[in-house]
Chain A
């Protein structure tokens, strides 16, 4: 079979939803629809409908959760799908996995689709791990024979050997997830559709899960559609990226560009107050190869750039600090002229500063905030001047960062040498 043939084709798929509650009011719509159909006319409510913007109030009760979605997936590709909450990711996955039908359009497939919108669907707490493996496997579309042949592998992968004959209600929630994912991992469909199921379980298991998904696409040549908010996982797994926004395809192309577009589109463009007591910030940026960026690889060299201006008088001495905080506001580190022992005496009104970070940042992946602090006799604190995302593409950096904050926020490059 050719590697580049299209295995899944999505054509003009739209999905309309009716908002509000169902009651006596809706029966009139149903009747209208029915009369239109028996007269051979189109559904009157398909003409209306608005784009799905959750934050704005609309005029009609109908919204398009998806509108004219078109894309193709080739055999062996791992397609990432990202988008804000309510962008239509879940609706698309539901249609792909046949849980619900599209309002218009069609999806054509050359392979069997198995979907993993949730791990452990249909698990019954009173049944043992073994019984649940069979039930869950069958729900996901395996035959009893298939499950039997893979049973030992499934149990081994889950790491729950000890508990396999114990009712699932005695399991910890992590163990339930491990068992459920193990069943799903041994499904062998042509196309695997995965929703954010990896956001559970401990770091060890997440690594295992992502590794398994890589195996599925690399060695078995299966096609995977993967939805996630975890940019690191998307970067590690996917070969192409689809960005959804308000029910339409905003971007379809390379992973790098897609993530860049997604983050720049969604970074809050709030203006921070750039003038405090006669000091104005003209520009703040993170530069890499003289280009302003919002996504930063861990441990890669970059520069903070700052330009500010004294509107009233020029102070004798000024201290400049770049403060990096995480999204919870916790201060992670400060880059400061004061700490470096630099006494800077400005001569003109305009000041341009670059602070080169030679080895890059070694923090956990995620969103960070940059505050700027200037100080002469007075404090000038400019908070949230910009936000940036730190990601770790293991293939580029070679570092294996933890995915959890439970192990701390900072990664220290190191090598072990143990004598025994």
Chain B
């Protein structure tokens, strides 16, 4: 073979697990933004209430949760108005949940496009994470609106704290965790679809293990034997710390070690998801 032959690239069957082409990913960055634009433009076509649905869902859920868990179930919220406590948890949880669910069927949903044209497949789930930010922003805005209302009616005391600077890390963690798990699931369901059945009710169950509707201390106190399941769950840390930051009235402080643990787990899940996803994208079209 001629030594002068310089090939730009090679298509071969054997791929190592770490065969990630980041340069190529960067070249397709415009596509990511265009997918985001598409999602945003087309989401509310032909609905009457449009983006209001984003607001209705967390509000109704909060009301019902307050009724069931706080009024009937008597769960203590450490002096924070129960409605706001639930709304905060749900807002944080929703972004993670949406990212997870929307990315978990990436391969199946985009079979049509993926079967006809090549682009780095991971662009698709990544674009979902970004477009879900819009929904998250709206829900966060609603949360802030109610927060201000509760402060202005003296039901809640607002204390400024530099812990607020941790918030962006929490948001990144929610998205990245959802993306990571979503990529893992979407890769695993290309051949055997069993996992899809797990996702819908699994996410529901996971919510109860992520301290969305109760403070972590409560489960430590009531079920100390099993509380580790909740405590080590990275989403618990995200949600618990979100509440610690926005309700500084909670006496426990935000621990930097918690934030570090949360970011580390998110990174591990994300990288693992990326590798599996990358491996799957090369052959899934034959098995889906």
**B166 close to A (CB within 8 Å):** no
Could you tell me if A110 and B8 are in contact, using CB atoms closer than 8 angstroms? yes
A140/B117 contact (C-beta < 8 A), A103-B13, A127-B42 known: yes
Which residue on chain A has the smallest CB distance to residue B31?
A138
Interface residues of A in 94-113 (CB under 8 A from B): 94-112
A6 neighbours in B (Cβ, 8 Å): 5
Could you tell me if A100 and B38 are in contact, using CB atoms closer than 8 angstroms? no
A2 to chain B, nearest CB (A): 11
Determine, out of B99-107, B108-116, B151-159, B175-183, the stretch whose residues face the partner at the interface: B108-116
Which residue on chain A has the smallest CB distance to residue B35?
A135
Determine, out of A118-126, A158-166, A342-350, the stretch whose residues face the partner at the interface: A118-126
Could you tell me if A131 and B41 are in contact, using CB atoms closer than 8 angstroms? yes
Contact of A109 among B8, B30, B41, B112 (CB under 8 A): B8
CA of A180 to CA of B11, assembled, Å: 27
**B9 close to A (CB within 8 Å):** yes
A121/B117 contact (C-beta < 8 A), A22-B192, A101-B282, A135-B34 known: yes
Q: Residues 26-43 of chain B: 1 if any A CB is under 8 Å from the residue's CB, otherwise 0?
A: 011011011101100110
Could you tell me if A112 and B8 are in contact, using CB atoms closer than 8 angstroms? yes
A99/B117 contact (C-beta < 8 A), A126-B45, A127-B42 known: yes
**B251 close to A (CB within 8 Å):** no
Could you tell me if B13 and A115 are in contact, using CB atoms closer than 8 angstroms? no
Total count of chain B residues near the partner, CB < 8 A:
37
CA of A26 to CA of B287, assembled, Å: 11
CA of A105 to CA of B12, assembled, Å: 6
Could you tell me if A124 and B118 are in contact, using CB atoms closer than 8 angstroms? no
Could you tell me if A102 and B11 are in contact, using CB atoms closer than 8 angstroms? yes
A124/B28 contact (C-beta < 8 A), A107-B11, A118-B116 known: no
A117 to chain B, nearest CB (A): 5
B37 neighbours in A (Cβ, 8 Å): 131, 135
Size class of the A contact interface (CB-based, 8 Å): 35 or more
Could you tell me if A97 and B8 are in contact, using CB atoms closer than 8 angstroms? no
CA of A304 to CA of B212, assembled, Å: 86
CA of A103 to CA of B283, assembled, Å: 9
CA of A131 to CA of B35, assembled, Å: 11
CA of A18 to CA of B148, assembled, Å: 61
**A141 close to B (CB within 8 Å):** yes
B42 neighbours in A (Cβ, 8 Å): 124, 126-127
A27 neighbours in B (Cβ, 8 Å): 192
Could you tell me if B119 and A141 are in contact, using CB atoms closer than 8 angstroms? yes
A131 neighbours in B (Cβ, 8 Å): 37-38, 41
CA of A6 to CA of B1, assembled, Å: 13
B115 neighbours in A (Cβ, 8 Å): 94, 99
B7 neighbours in A (Cβ, 8 Å): 9, 108-110
**B191 close to A (CB within 8 Å):** yes
Could you tell me if B9 and A109 are in contact, using CB atoms closer than 8 angstroms? yes
Of the A-B pairs whose beta carbons lie under 8 Å apart in the complex, a sample of 26, sorted by A's number, is A6-B5, A22-B191, A98-B11, A98-B118, A99-B115, A101-B12, A101-B13, A101-B282, A105-B12, A105-B13, A106-B12, A107-B11, A107-B12, A109-B8, A110-B8, A118-B117, A121-B117, A126-B45, A131-B37, A131-B38, A135-B34, A138-B30, A139-B113, A139-B119, A144-B30, A144-B34
Q: Which 8 A-B pairs have the closest CB atoms?
A: A98-B118, A138-B31, A107-B11, A144-B30, A108-B7, A106-B12, A118-B116, A126-B42
Which residues of A pack against B, CB within 8 Å?
Answer: 6, 9, 17, 22, 26-27, 30, 94-112, 115, 117-118, 121-122, 124, 126-127, 131, 134-135, 138-141, 143-144
Task: Known A-B contacts: A105-B13, A109-B8, A124-B42. Give 7 more (CB < 8 A).
Answer: A99-B117, A101-B15, A101-B282, A107-B12, A131-B37, A139-B119, A140-B117
